[in-house]
Amino acid sequence: MWKGSIVPKVNNLRNLIRQQQEAHKAKTGQFLHQHVIAVHIGIDPATLSQYINDKLTTLNWEVWQKLANYFGVSGDEIFNVQPDETSE
């Protein structure tokens, strides 16, 4: 997998969060804050912010799985790359 080079990726996380917030607001009438979403996912809010803003150079497999599970999508729908299970 892309050894020795940077893996091109598209970050769809911001859109997934926005969709979650819109669905929550339509259902409850209340805004769902990003830090609350992070807690529901089971990750630190700062970590979620770093992933949204592409501040991390690598993707943590465990966090990626939590994101995919929370949003009900495959991992490649979040970042548009295929994870290498042997990577950390």
In-domain check, residue 39: yes
Any idea what the CATH number is for the domain that residue 25 is in? 1.10.260
Q: What confidence tens digit (pLDDT) does each residue in 65-84 have? A: 999 999 999 888 888 765 55
Task: Tell me which residue of 74, 30, 3 sits closest to 22, measured CA to CA.
Answer: 30
Q: What confidence tens digit (pLDDT) does each residue in 17-65 have? A: 999 999 999 999 999 999 999 999 999 999 999 999 988 777 788 999 9
Examine the pLDDT at 1 and tell me if it is beyond 60.
no
Range of the domain at 30: 13-73
In-domain check, residue 86: no
In-domain check, residue 52: yes
Q: What is the pTM of this model?
A: 0.76
Number of domains in the chain: 1
In-domain check, residue 65: yes
